[in-house]
Amino acid sequence: MIEFGHLTHVGLRRDLNEDTYYGDSELGLWLIADGMGGHEYGEVASALARETIVREIRQGTGLPQAIRIADEEIIRASRRRNDSLPMGTTVVAARVTGNRFEVAWVGDSRVYLWRDNKLAQLSQDHSYVQELIAQGAISIDQARSHPHRNVVTQALGVTDPQTLNVETLSGELSPGTQLLLCSDGLTEEVDDRAISRVLAHLECSAQECVDGLVAAALDGGGSDNVTVILIRRH
């Protein structure tokens, strides 16, 4: 059985929530899109990503291809608006079929796997600071306060479909395993150790864990929109 919890919050410093999300255990699809571009464009881009990916998955398209189609649709919508500002969105998505999962992402929204009392980050941010970490130029701790930590190097609607890097991972979703999807509004304020402590409370429902994580992000400052989905296999 799959149980999931979900919540989005505008945060404490933003007027608009440009995050959007989707969750459907019958379809076996969950996703979070974190829009960017200001002037409500981010909101439009993230909603368009969600609608396109859900539609494509319903039609039997594979997850990476559905994300590529969303990229093309957002670019087309941008061109129709004739705007000087591109609108873009990150995306992180999970599909669960039987006891297997597949995750895919573009940008810096993340997916974590909780198994055997351990938290592992499955996704790798498509971001400027992640590139610096990979080069050994800065540490993970330094990345948390780096002035350019919000600069993404890949995003739907911004990255040309030819160079779009949709990364995927798949694995077994055994009983007791949890998948956590989140926008950077969570990871900006709450470190992995604190996330781990919340997910360890297996006596709590998935929704209670999600509520706790969002509350922790707001306690940490709530500098951005924050969206969290927790998928749990019983």
Using 50, 70 and 90 to split pLDDT, how confident is the model at 57?
A: very high
Using 50, 70 and 90 to split pLDDT, how confident is the model at 39?
A: low
CA distance 136 to 123: 19
Q: Could you tell me which of 75, 224, 85, 102 has the C-alpha nearest to residue 156?
A: 75
Report how many domains make up the chain.
Answer: 1
**Dihedral angle at the C-alpha atoms of 59, 64, 67, 69, nearest 10 degrees?**
-60
What CATH code is carried by the domain that includes residue 154? 3.60.40.10
Is residue 181 within 8 A of residue 234, CB to CB? The reply is no
**What are the phi and psi torsion angles at 88 (to 5°)?**
-140, 170
∠ CA 147-151-156, rounded to 5°: 165
Asked if pLDDT for residue 34 goes beyond 80, the answer is: yes
- The total of other beta-carbon atoms located within 10 Å of residue 66's CB is 26
Q: Which residue do the tokens 């995306």 mark?
A: 91
Asked if pLDDT for residue 38 goes beyond 70, the answer is: no
User: Comparing 17-26, 39-48, 163-172, which segment has the lowest mean pLDDT?
Assistant: 39-48
Read off the pTM: 0.97
Rounded mean pLDDT of 211-225?
A: 97
Rounded mean pLDDT of 123-127?
A: 97
pLDDT, tens only, 142-183: 998 899 988 999 999 999 999 999 999 999 999 999 999 999
DSSP string across 33-62? EEEESSTTHHHHHHHHHHHHHHHHHHTT--
pLDDT at 85: 75
pLDDT, tens only, 127-146: 999 999 999 999 988 998 89
Is residue 152 within 8 A of residue 124, CB to CB? The reply is no
Asked if pLDDT for residue 17 goes beyond 70, the answer is: yes
Structural domain for 83, as ranges: 2-233
Residue 178 bridge partners (DSSP): 114, 232
- Contacts for 205 with CB less than 8 Å, ≥ 6 apart: 3, 5
> With 0-12 CB in 10 A as exposed, 13-18 as middle and 19+ as buried, what is 170?
middle
Q: Could you tell me which of 228, 219, 147 has the C-alpha nearest to residue 189?
A: 219
